Chains A and B, each alone.
Chain A
Amino acid sequence: AQTVTQSQPEMSVQEAETVTLSCTYDTSESDYYLFWYKQPPSRQMILVIRQEAYKQQNATENRFSVNFQKAAKSFSLKISDSQLGDAAMYFCAYSSPLKAAGNKLTFGGGTRVLVKP
């Protein structure tokens, strides 16, 4: 079974600065998806960024980028120019496209990001 580990329960960042969230995962599969989801106080999980394992290029979405190290099974998220609205819980998630039906995501324990004005 796949496992996802986020070793940082909480991270604090100054507004306009950069913060990096760590994620490691364990899998025996060669093809899969990785995600970062954001959960603000409104509770709705929102997709931040997606990475396909077969792609060597790191995904970027505006101020969000990832550092995907497949051999090390590491998938970190960098938030640049942090804004107050970035304050939330961030979850790393793994999904295997090899499964026949549905997208069964396995989530890490989450990292709470605090943004200081």
Chain B
Amino acid sequence: ETGVTQTPRHLVMGMTNKKSLKCEQHLGHNAMYWYKQSAKKPLELMFVYNFKEQTENNSVPSRFSPECPNSSHLFLHLHTLQPEDSALYLCASSQDRRQGWNTGELFFGEGSRLTVL
């Protein structure tokens, strides 16, 4: 298994749909992240989880609902999205800084390309 896997790779949904993005990491990390990558904008941090607890919510609208059932899995539940939410959603993982040696970097998945019609 590759380090960080995301499913689905592509998702098209209407504004009234409910869907979920899934992320799984096989690196033994205990911190997981959601980033949003829109065209012509820098990557935006959305959420951070450390040991299943949410430690960062970067003023993300409530139509995005994260879930972290364990340190290896992270979900992003989507409902009543807007067309401007169309973007590449990247999941990443890392060691938590409080748990010893940490190189400071994130390990990314390949992203889920979301299109909201």
Q: A: which residues have CB within 8 A of B?
A: 4, 33, 35, 37, 42-47, 50, 52, 91, 95, 97, 99-110
Contact = CB atoms under 8 A, between A and B. Distances in A.
Main secondary structure, interface of A, reads loop
Given A45-B90, A91-B43, A107-B42, A100 B110 contact: no
- Which of A37, A100, A105 neighbours the largest number of chain B CB atoms within 10 Å of its CB? A105
- Which of B31, B90, B102, B103 neighbours the largest number of chain A CB atoms within 10 Å of its CB? B103
Interface of B: 31, 33, 40-43, 45, 48, 50, 55-56, 88, 90, 92, 94, 96-98, 102-111, 113
Contact of A45 (B55, B98, B108, B113): B108
Contacts of A107: 42-43
B102 to A, nearest CB: 7
Given A100-B97, A101-B48, A108 B90 contact: no
